[in-house]
Amino acid sequence: MAANSDLQSFVETHDRPFLIVDSDNRIVAANKAFLAAYGATLERVLNRTCHEVTHDNPRPCHEMGEECPKQYIQETGKPHTCLHVHTHYDEGRHVHQVRVKGFPLHFGQGSTYYGELFEELAVQPEGDGDRHCMVGSSKPFLSSLEAMKVAAGSEAPVLIQGETGTGKELAAHFVHRNSSRTNRPFLTLDCTVLTKALAESELFGHVRGAFTGSVGERQGLFKLADGGTLFLDEIGELPKSLQSKLLRVLETGEFRRVGSDRPEHTDVRVICATNRNLASEVQNGRFREDLYYRLACLTVSLPSLRQRRDDIPALAELMLKRCMRPGEPLLSLSDGALKALAAHDYPGNVRELRNILQAVAAHADGTRITRAQIEQTLAGQPVITSTPIPAGTSAQQQQPRPAEPVRSEALADLERTHLAHLLNTHAGDLTAVASALGVSLRTVYRKLNRYGLR
């Protein structure tokens, strides 16, 4: 049997987080990379079980429904990789989403250990200050997260696909933040809100006198994002006449401002997103085939919320934190409220979940959200709070008022009210409002226009 010093020397040959556990799941060696990643000391982790240290769980992974590489190795004697399934916690309660590679280690007769090598997919901050934080530990979510990490390691264009409200802009931010361009600009163009002329000017810029009203020159997004990333949201809406110009930039890095014959050059990484089936758009002649294949070099498919219902509790917790002003007590969901949220179909996906929670939070008068409040909001009814009836109220006054008729626009009304409340709370500071809502500043402007708020 090898001495612990030998095992410790062995794990230090790896530059990524690496553990050795025995047949009882107890850690017998951990390298410096693991200790640094998880903010622990060797004394803190030795002789403790791996599931206690990395999962903060007293029971082994396989008993909690997660895939365990060690269990597979014991059954087959072969190395095994757990893909997309493990969510680990470090000493600071930060979430680590990882891929675990396990393999058997033999040190003399009768001495079998199990090596576990960790490959980080992402680290999510515990606090709510990062409005671009992505949360989840379900298999569909972690599968898409791994695809984002692959995309982040490349310079090729990326196409992010998913239903409306699945978080395509968040995914684009993730790819940028984890790429070599992380310290360079990240700019966004929503292809649904601009006319062809404005879209061309936004992308490529224009010179003085290029069109009526152009009294000065303008640098386009391709110039402003030089060295960084340009995110084209809903690329399927881009006018076909501009698709050829976009293809040229992708192929050569060359473009011309509107009204200019002088070529300019840029080094921009393009990420696109769409809720359309672009392959069908190509077949129907609405999208250029050559551009489609150029953009779809790397693809990331985001799951709908219906496919990742296990992530609803974690998402809800984060969203409720963002609804609260500094100093306010945090809201929590009862078990019944969580069950009601889990049973909903969410055609609007994560964005719809956020709107529901914002509506409930705006009317909450306690710190505990009930199932009835969630169900009434889902039904489009006014939220009934648990305010106690003042002493001396007559029996007639105690009778509840009849519920208002169900209105399909009820959630929109509640969102408008909540947005107006945040505008007042933050004295019109739109950046603060965007942070409180957990959305981009562009989205706040869009909502202000939608609801007629100034």
Section 339-363 average pLDDT: 91
pLDDT exceeds 80 at position 92: no
Residue 192 structure tokens: 């649904």
Distances (CA, A) of 330 to 45, 134, 379, 422, 433: 33, 20, 25, 17, 18
- In this predicted model, which residue has the larger pLDDT, 121 or 350? 350
Q: pLDDT at position 417, please?
A: 76
Q: Comparing 58-62, 220-224, 342-346, which segment has the lowest mean pLDDT?
A: 58-62
How far apart are alpha carbons 199 and 204 in whole angstroms?
8
Section 407-420 average pLDDT: 64
Residues 6+ apart with CB under 8 A from 162: 168, 171, 273, 275, 301, 302, 303, 304, 349
Section 294-307 average pLDDT: 95
How far apart are alpha carbons 327 and 34 in whole angstroms?
36
pLDDT band at 352 (very low <50, low <70, confident <90, very high): very high
pLDDT exceeds 80 at position 183: yes
pLDDT exceeds 60 at position 284: yes
Best mean pLDDT range from 349-353, 360-364, 385-389: 349-353
The architecture of the domain spanning 4-124 is 2-Layer Sandwich (3.30)
Helix, strand or coil for residue 43? Answer: helix
Kindly report, as residue ranges, where domains of CATH 3.30.450.20 are found in the chain: 4-124
- In this predicted model, which residue has the larger pLDDT, 109 or 374? 374
Section 188-208 average pLDDT: 83
Section 52-74 average pLDDT: 72
**How would you write 46-95 as a 3-class SS string?**
CCCEHHHHHHCCCCCHHHHCCCCHHHHHHHHCCCEEEEEEEEEECCCCCE
pLDDT band at 82 (very low <50, low <70, confident <90, very high): low
User: What is the third-level CATH fold of 305-383+408-451?
Assistant: Helicase, Ruva Protein; domain 3 (1.10.8)
Kindly report, as residue ranges, where domains of CATH 1.10.8.60 are found in the chain: 305-383+408-451
Q: pLDDT at position 403, please?
A: 38
How far apart are alpha carbons 331 and 301 in whole angstroms?
32
How far apart are alpha carbons 316 and 356 in whole angstroms?
10
Task: Give, to the nearest 10 degrees, the angle between helix 312-323 and helix 430-437.
Answer: 150
Best mean pLDDT range from 70-84, 174-188, 362-376: 174-188
Q: pLDDT at position 123, please?
A: 47
Give the rounded percent of residues in the chain with a pLDDT score beyond 70.
78
pLDDT mean across residues, the chain: 80
pLDDT band at 362 (very low <50, low <70, confident <90, very high): confident
Cα torsion 390, 391, 392, 394: sign: positive
Q: Is 187 exposed, middle or buried (0-12, 13-18, 19+ CB in 10 A)?
A: middle
pLDDT band at 325 (very low <50, low <70, confident <90, very high): confident
Section 246-254 average pLDDT: 94
Torsion region of 265: left, alpha or beta (phi above 0 gives left; psi -120 to 50 gives alpha):
beta
Residue 350 structure tokens: 């994560």
Are the C-beta atoms of residues 442 and 431 closer than 8 Å to each other?
A: no
- In this predicted model, which residue has the larger pLDDT, 343 or 104? 343
Kindly report, as residue ranges, where domains of CATH 3.40.50.300 are found in the chain: 139-301
pLDDT band at 213 (very low <50, low <70, confident <90, very high): low
Question: pLDDT tens across 366-405, in order?
Answer: 788 999 999 988 887 444 444 333 444 443 344 443 334 3
Give the rounded percent of residues in the chain with a pLDDT score beyond 90.
33
- Residue of 278, 300, 64 whose CA lies nearest to 175: 300
pLDDT band at 412 (very low <50, low <70, confident <90, very high): low
The CATH number that domain 139-301 falls under is 3.40.50.300
